[in-house]
Amino acid sequence: MTAMTIEEMKKRKIERGLSNKQLAELSGVPLGTLQRILAGKTRAPRRDTVEALTRALETPAPEQAGSRAAGNGMNRYQPYKHQSYKDQPGPETAKPAASAANPASGDYFLPHSADIQCVRETAPQYGRRVFTLKDYLALPDDQRVELIDGVFYDMAGPTTLHQMIVFQIQRSLWDHVEKGKGPCIPLASPVDVVLDNDQYTVVQPDVLVVCDREKFRDGRVYGAPDLVVEVLSPSTRRKDITLKLYKYTEAGVREYWIVDPPARQIIVFDLEHDGPIAVYGGPHGAGLKVPVSIWNKEHIVDFEPIFSFAEVLEK
């Protein structure tokens, strides 16, 4: 058996449609060790570790035999937690209003992995070619896409309303940084984030906060931001609450907000502590003052004026 290089492992992992957790289970390599190796933090991994990963990647998993995941990677994403918010305790996790996710019942479900096939805005390229950062950088400047696990996804141009909300969130985060003079830097799209520190995923979150300044290189961010905020739009809703939620969780994003302007709601995922899902706004959620967990809740983003101004623009 010839041991794979790290780049070969990454490419084979994508072709097999495996998450880091699944590969760790198949190989017996601890998840933390695996993540450090694939992120390039471990420069010289042990030989037995590399051999274990190589064996796992070269041997088809029994549960994948004959499945869609074995063929094209379509069913490999698992949402953060498949449940309704009504099953969460406490006032911040009460059932929100009806939404596009499940408008009939009023329960805001995270779609099951089988729904991921509806997310893709462009045809998957598995079986033909896995695109890389080099392909991404070669695209025309006016072509807006994201690259996720070697697949391109078209990005619709943002509306004025969307941009206003993004600006207000970033401005609030900047106010805190300027007062505290901390190391964190809040940014707004378009900013390229090479999420997995590899060549296969480049995303553009609506708002992001990066506290490790060594992640800034070549005009891009390499690695997981500390906080990511995505403002939902009809064309990105499913991708933001399924595919991107999975990717941000796997990459090590500490906190993820999903802002739903029509529902006047913010869904907060404390990914760092695997905490409960918090819902702000809507008829059953908490108020619209959302604390920033990565800053120990010392700063609050007040969405009441943000949404109120948005309503004026919508008229």
Q: Are residues 51 and 195 in the same domain?
A: no
For residue 210, what pLDDT is reported? 95
pLDDT tens profile 24-83: 888 888 877 887 788 777 777 888 788 888 888 887 654 443 333 333 333 333 333 333
* Contact (CB, 8 A) for 312 and 116: no
Distance CA 135, CA 147 (A): 9
| Structural domain for 15, as ranges | 6-72
User: What does the DSSP assignment read for 135-186?
Assistant: HHHTS-TT--EEEETTEEEE-PPPPHHHHHHHHHHHHHHHHHHHHHT-S-EE
Q: Say what the pTM is.
A: 0.65
Q: Are residues 141 and 290 in the same domain?
A: yes
| Low-confidence residues in the chain, pLDDT < 50 | 62-128
Q: Are residues 32 and 145 in the same domain?
A: no
SS3 of 262, please? coil
pLDDT tens profile 112-132: 333 333 333 333 333 445 888
For residue 180, what pLDDT is reported? 77
The reply to whether 77 falls in a domain is no
For residue 206, what pLDDT is reported? 94
**Structural domain total, the chain:** 2
For residue 1, what pLDDT is reported? 65
Distance CA 12, CA 38 (A): 12
For residue 283, what pLDDT is reported? 72
For residue 104, what pLDDT is reported? 31
HSE, side-chain direction, 13 A CA sphere, residue 107: 11
For residue 280, what pLDDT is reported? 92
The reply to whether 253 falls in a domain is yes
67: domain CATH number is: 1.10.260
Q: Are residues 152 and 292 in the same domain?
A: yes
